[in-house]
Amino acid sequence: MKDIPKPQRLRCSVQNYDWGRTGEESTVAVLFSRNNPIDPEKPYAEFWIGTHPSGPSSLLSLGSSDSQPVLLKSWILENPSSVLGDKVSEKWHGDLPFLFKVLSVAKALSIQAHPDKELAKALHEMNPSVYKDSNHKPEMAIALTEFKALCGFVGIEELKDILTSVPEIRDMIGDEHIDKYMSIKETDPSDETKVVLRSIYTKLMSTSEEVVSESVSKLKHRLNTESKGYPEILQRTPLNNNVLRYTPPFDEFEVDHISLSPGESVSCPAVLGPSILVVVTGEGSIQMCCATDEDKITVGDVYFVPAKNEIKLTSGGTGETQVYRAGVNSRLFN
């Protein structure tokens, strides 16, 4: 029986996009400063943990150094079945199927349009220097602080369905504007469609705060009492008193939020796929499967945990310790 590869501490990459928070005001910079110097004048937008070629992680052990880092991807490729587990290695061809990020946002991000799986593969084959992988990039976002986001564009017919099936929106816009939109066809000139869309948008955005607040309350109440219409990605499942799991509707990943008060411990059982842990607040220790010693952990520590490794986390200090774990969706192994 082969030895199970041990968890490894990682040095991770950052992206200094213009919209990121600057210097130590950025959570990304704080995480990055655990193993790297930071520039107080630079924006630190995204903290990348994974094997993506534009921001690869490297191992802080196994002889890795600043001049000759051992990349996480290279280490995985040495024995992908043992590190990733047989099922993950086979399904994603020996690579980690997700990129784990922390974002620190100072201003509005650019709009992104993600291709589906087939188009992503075609774009990668056509121009790999621009489209660096063939993945369709499904995403899930978890807000560490209060956050506002707009997600998704809808087509003409889908918007018709929303306008007729969401009474709270219909009440705010009014029947006159909606009836005009319902008569639009996909083949109509775009200028005519834009005029009607603009009237709906204007009506919606000029609605008073009181009316919007009342409509949102009605919508939340309705979604909480109906079985349909509540997005699966927004649901979270408590695994125990310390762990909440966010499970999206795709196989590539899931995310656990682990919260520990001082002195509390939690065991993360061994699973058949890899996972990544990042400490975002607090301090404590991590104990590996079958090991008697512990590693101290603090803000910015990141661990890659190969398949079949059980770990134990313990909170120390005086404040709460919060850790996020990303791993391959558990349903893949059921």
CATH value of 156-232 in 2.40.50.1070, 1.10.441.10, 3.40.630.10, 3.40.50.2300: 1.10.441.10
- What token pair was written down for 65? 């150094």
- Burial tier of 314 (Cβ tally within 10 Å: 0-12, 13-18, 19+): middle
In this prediction, what percent of the chain has a pLDDT beyond 90?
Answer: 56
Mean pLDDT of 105-127: 84
pTM as predicted: 0.77
- How confident is the model over 232-250, as pLDDT tens digits? 445 689 999 999 999 888 8
Local structure of 323: helix, strand or coil: strand
For the domain made up of 8-126, give the CATH fold. Answer: Jelly Rolls (2.60.120)
Range with the poorest average pLDDT among 105-109, 152-156, 309-313, 325-329? 152-156
Position 230 scores a pLDDT of 43
Instruction: Encode pLDDT of 138-193 as tens digits.
Output: 888 888 888 877 766 677 888 888 888 889 999 999 988 888 888 888 777 878 88
Amino acid 121: pLDDT: 87
Quickly tell me which residue has 């993360």 as its tokens: 268
**What integer is the mean pLDDT of 68-84?**
93
CB 69 within 8 A of CB 35: no
Could you tell me the pLDDT band of residue 225, with boundaries at 50, 70 and 90? confident
> Per-domain residue ranges for the chain?
8-126, 156-232, 234-333
Beta strands (DSSP E) in the chain are: 8-11, 13-15, 21-22, 43-44, 46-49, 58-59, 70-71, 100-103, 236-238, 243-246, 254-260, 265-268, 275-281, 283-288, 294-298, 302-305, 311-316, 321-327
Q: Is the pLDDT of residue 231 over 90?
A: no
Q: Do domains 8-126 and 234-333 have the same CATH topology?
A: yes
For 234-333, CATH number? 2.60.120.10
For the chain, give the mean pLDDT. 88
Distance, first Cα to last Cα, the chain: 23
